[in-house]
Amino acid sequence: MRLHNLKPQPGAKHRKKRLGQGESSGHGKTSGRGGKGQSARSGSSIRIGFEGGQMPLIRRMPKRGFNNARHTTRYVPVNLAGLDQFENGARVDEAALRSIGLANGPGDGIKILGQGELTKKLTVSVHAFSASARAKIEGLGGVCEVVGSTKPQAVQS
């Protein structure tokens, strides 16, 4: 067996369907597009699942079963640069961050991210820290405290 002997298996390769080559070819006249209508026009394409305006089957069916998105933890992100607003040695927690408008919106907790620079020594008490944020806070002599999640825990039975 050499490279010049290699061939694809029989049936693995098909020649291209040549449309519009006359009636006797079997692909003449309408060239496999049927009669008239939207699908016979050039440039026509209907997205998968479209039913002509009728409510599509995928939207008519009830949604059941496991969905991993229901069990994710969604943190409200706060960057380090925003923490520079606090005084040196201050204690920063969720209430303090929400009161000055750094953490807005619903979430299962607050996560401090390492974007920007911090110049003050702070005691930060939130739900999660990125590795770079923890390194920068502790590098200035600050303290990172992880508090428990505010998300209700599932009942084990």
Check if the beta carbon of residue 99 is closer than 8 Å to that of residue 67.
Answer: no
Q: What angle do CA 35, 38, 40 make, to 5 degrees?
A: 40
Closest residue by Cα to residue 76 from 128, 36, 138: 128
Give start and end residues of each alpha helix (H) in 21-112. Answer: 57-60, 80-83, 94-99
Token pair 């739900």 is at which residue? Answer: 127
Residue 78 has pLDDT above 70, yes or no: yes
Q: With cut-offs at 50, 70 and 90, classify the pLDDT of residue 48.
A: very high
User: What residues contact 28, with CB distance under 8 A and at least 6 apart?
Assistant: 20, 21, 22
Topology annotation, domain 73-146: Ribosomal Protein L15; Chain: K; domain 2 (3.100.10)
Q: Where are the domains of the chain?
A: 73-146
Q: With cut-offs at 50, 70 and 90, classify the pLDDT of residue 44.
A: confident
- pLDDT at position 31 is 92
Residue 75 has pLDDT above 60, yes or no: yes
pLDDT in tens, 102-157: 999 898 999 999 999 999 999 999 999 999 999 999 999 999 999 985 555 555 55
- Segment 83-94 mean pLDDT: 93
Check if the beta carbon of residue 129 is closer than 8 Å to that of residue 110.
Answer: no
pLDDT > 90: what percent of the chain?
A: 80
Residue 43 has pLDDT above 70, yes or no: yes
